[in-house]
Amino acid sequence: MEFKYDVVVVGAGHAGCEAATAAAKLGAKTCLITMDMNKIAQMSCNPAIGGIAKGQIVREIDALGGHTGEVTDQTAIQFRMLNRSKGPAMWSPRAQCDRGKFIWAWRNVLENTPNLSIWQDQVVELLTEEEKTPRGELANAACSVAQRRVRGLRTLHGAFFHAPCVIITAGTFLNGLMHIGRTKIPGGRCAELPSLHLSESIAACGITVGRMKTGTPVRIDGRSVDFSLMQRQDGESDFHKFSYMGEPRQLPQLPCWITYTNEAVHERLRAALPDSPLYNGQIQSIGPRYCPSIETKLVTFAERTEHQLFLEPEGTSTNEYYLNGFSSSLPIDAQIEALKLIPAFRNLQIYRPGYAIEYDYFDPTELRHSLESKKVDGLFLAGQVNGTTGYEEAAGQGLVAGVNAARKLAGQEPFIMRRDESYIGVLIDDLVTKGVDEPYRMFTSRAEYRILLRQDDADARLTERSYELGLATQERYNHWIRKKQAINEIEDFCNNYSVKAAHINEGLKALGSEELQRGCKLIDLIMRPGLTLSNLAPLIPTLSEKLNSIKDRREEVIEAAEVRMKYSGYIRREKEIAEKIQRLENIRIRGRFRYGDIKSLSTEARQKLAKIDPETMAQASRIPGVSPSDINVLLVMMNR
């Protein structure tokens, strides 16, 4: 066995798995190093994939040829499309997964990917060397600059890996420290050792290191729960899934359950706050604003008398449940005693308590958009080490890092996605442009072009680019071309087919839609609220025949065509907004606003704009926490 590779990936979480498979599929001889092969792609927190904006990222990963979507479909035990009450730009797929089966499905992918090896060990040192880089075309030795470049890695077992490209995807393991009340335990996850020394060797290269915090809830024995006192929440069984390829969900579909905290629960938790690491000074680092612990909720929303909790299954063959909404680092007795005051949990038994974890991350503004370090040539960083939170954000970064490591070795230009092209592009641009002062989580509000970045059109945006890269397979490309042709045929039909009033008015009346005064094109009916291709098809035999002629992914094709037709006007308008964004550098706003008085801005935006008082609108748009929606509010006020 030779320990010489083109690319070595450190850490087999969601970022590491996508990075390793992407690099290997592009021809790089790749090794994935993990501390435990039985914990590959472990879902450290909630065993779920997707959610608001996160689901769109997974669809993009799939369209690019990644594997998170197909692994999720194989192991899903509940699927739901969130935000259905809103427009299609907000629709976000989410799936609860079988935690154990998810691990083994990913391991099956990794072990059957050509050019990819796996090594179980802990990396303790990044090996680099100094090289002189000429500064400009006319540079000589006297005006060259010293830059470090990757040479390889050293592991705890004493193995030396030689590689010109290294991708660090270590998650929360770098100097990880767990907190349960006043108890502190070194670890990257419950019952798993931290990664020591690697962070220091990276920092020695001049890379800025910081500390962040995240948390996870208690795990509950379902046999001790009175489900009759909870509200049942079933999943959906329609055609939606994550991957554009593969088969529908195969595992039994399980319900989730809803319950609420109460005043008695809150009183018990408040009594324990002096022992909370978050409030007694034990934890100094910043946690995720958008996934607060239960103790943070009590302090921040002191007026609330209850908080919603979701009890979610961990798999088809286990009694273990995850209590979503009850992330905590309070002492064990406080967690248990408080939960027992909820009627459904009066006989509560738990497998392990919730805990907080602190870990090292690296300043993402020191990265290029390719996710390669500006300070160490050949070093790529992806996932939570860049200050993000979430499996989906990590996986998206991992795929981009893996692609770019392979392209760097081949002497090719880096693969970079624009903000109007993907949520992954938005994510990476935010990281490298704005940096982070708290764990970064993706939301639809972070994207200026939400109507262009829908979950249904990720394949339209990215499959052909991925195919050109060599990442998407011929099968995937052909699948997209067939779908594209089918969508175009439906749109052409609707744009050209004439509907006569006498033939359809009775049906329109039955659907609660206004009758026609004269004939029109079918597209005009499609544009009406409440009218769809599916409910118009029984009224128009030719349309019904057209839709029934679609043999492959019929429902998916119909939905994609319908969304494109219904929202064509919004798409045109969004392109106009994009042109305005490019002119923001010329709009000076310092001293023009009293931000604290603008209630239409988010609370976070008001606070940060008032603190920084940006010079231009462009500078305001780059402030973390100031969303594109907030910028649009300021633009409207400027016009006034």
pLDDT tens per residue, range 568-579: 999 888 877 767
- The yes-or-no verdict on residue 276 having pLDDT over 90 is yes
Coarse DSSP helix, strand, coil percentages of the chain, rounded to the nearest 5 percent: 40, 20, 40
List all residues 6 or more positions away from 161 whose beta carbon is below 8 Å from its beta carbon: 3, 4, 5, 8, 31, 33, 119, 152, 153, 154, 155
Look-up of token digits 């940006």: 614
pLDDT score of 376 = 97
**DSSP classification of residue 436:** -
In this prediction, residue 143 has a pLDDT band, given cuts at 50, 70 and 90, of: very low
Q: Which residues of 539-550 are buried (b: 16+ CB within 10 A; e: fewer)?
A: bbeebeebbeeb
Say if residues 40 and 17 touch (Cβ distance below 8 Å): yes
**Across 10-32, average pLDDT:** 98
Question: Which pair of tokens denotes residue 419?
Answer: 């903000």
Q: Of 463, 223, 453, which Cα lies nearest the Cα of 319? A: 223
In the predicted structure, residue 135 carries a pLDDT above the cut 80: no
In this prediction, residue 625 has a pLDDT band, given cuts at 50, 70 and 90, of: confident
Give, in order, the Cα–Cα distances in Å from 611 to each of 284, 357, 434, 438, 439. Answer: 22, 29, 16, 17, 20
The pLDDT tens digits of the residues spanning 390-410 come to 999 999 999 999 999 999 999
Report whether pLDDT(531) > 70.
yes
Report how far apart, in Å, the C-alpha atoms of 231 and of each of 77, 222, 259, 314, 485 are. 18, 15, 7, 18, 44
pLDDT score for 432: 84
Tokens linked to 300: 């921040």
d(CA 122, CA 357): 19
pLDDT tens profile 35-53: 999 999 999 999 999 999 9
Given this model, what pLDDT does residue 137 score? Answer: 43
Q: What is the pLDDT of residues 90-101, one digit of tens each?
A: 999 999 999 999
The pLDDT of residue 132: 67
Closest listed residue to residue 229, CA positions, set 268, 185, 264, 262: 262
Does the pLDDT at position 138 exceed 60? Answer: no
Whether 591 shows a pLDDT value over 90: the answer reads: no
Domains annotated on the chain, with CATH: 217-355 (2.40.30.260), 474-574 (1.10.10.1800), 586-639 (1.10.150.570)
Please compute the mean of the pLDDT values over residues 421-427 and round it to a whole number: 94
Residue 590 has pLDDT above 90, yes or no: no
Q: What is the rounded average pLDDT for all residues in the chain? A: 93
> Is residue 142's pLDDT more than 50?
no
Instruction: Tell me the sheet residues that pair with 324.
Output: 310
Q: Which residues contact 392 (CB under 8 A, 6 or more apart)?
A: 14, 49, 50, 51, 54, 55, 57, 58, 61, 68, 442
Query: How many CB atoms are located within 10 Å of the residue 320 CB?
Result: 17
The DSSP string of 461-497 is HHHHHHHHHT-S-HHHHHHHHHHHHHHHHHHHHHHH-
* More confident position, 289 or 107: 107
Please name the helix (run of DSSP H) or strand (run of DSSP E) that holds residue 523, with its range, or none.
helix 522-526
In this prediction the pTM is: 0.90
pLDDT at residue 319 greater than cutoff 90: yes
475 pLDDT higher than 90: yes
User: In the beta sheet, which residues pair with residue 362?
Assistant: 209
Confidence of residue 622 (pLDDT cuts 50, 70, 90): confident
Token readout for 49 is: 């994939």
Strands of 517-598, DSSP E: 520-521
The mean pLDDT value for 525-545 works out to 95
Instruction: Using the predicted structure, report yes or no on whether residue 389 has a pLDDT greater than 50.
Output: yes
Quick one: what percent of the chain has pLDDT higher than 70?
97
Q: Does the structure show a pLDDT above 80 at 105?
A: yes
Q: How confident is the model at residue 598 (pLDDT cuts 50, 70, 90)?
A: very high
Strands 209-221 and 320-327: antiparallel
Q: Are strands 231-233 and 256-260 parallel, antiparallel or unpaired?
A: antiparallel
**pLDDT surpassing 70 at residue 134:** no
* Tokens 């049942």 sit on residue: 232
pLDDT range class, residue 139, cuts 50, 70, 90 = very low
Q: Say which DSSP state 275 is in.
A: G
Give the CA count within 13 Å in the CB-facing half-sphere of 236: 12
Q: Count Cβ atoms below 10 Å from residue 191 Cβ, excluding itself.
A: 8
Average pLDDT over residues 449-457: 93
Q: Would you state the torsion angle of the CA atoms of residues 234, 235, 239, 240, taken in this order, to the nearest 10 degrees?
A: 160
Listed range (62-76, 104-118, 198-212, 566-580) with the worst mean pLDDT: 566-580
Span 229-241, mean pLDDT? Answer: 96
Examine the pLDDT at 20 and tell me if it is beyond 70. yes
For residue 121 the two structure tokens come to 């060990």
For 2-16, 94-108, 583-597, which range has the lowest pLDDT when averaged over its residues?
Answer: 583-597
Amino acid letter, 608: K
* DSSP H/E element including 76: strand 76-82
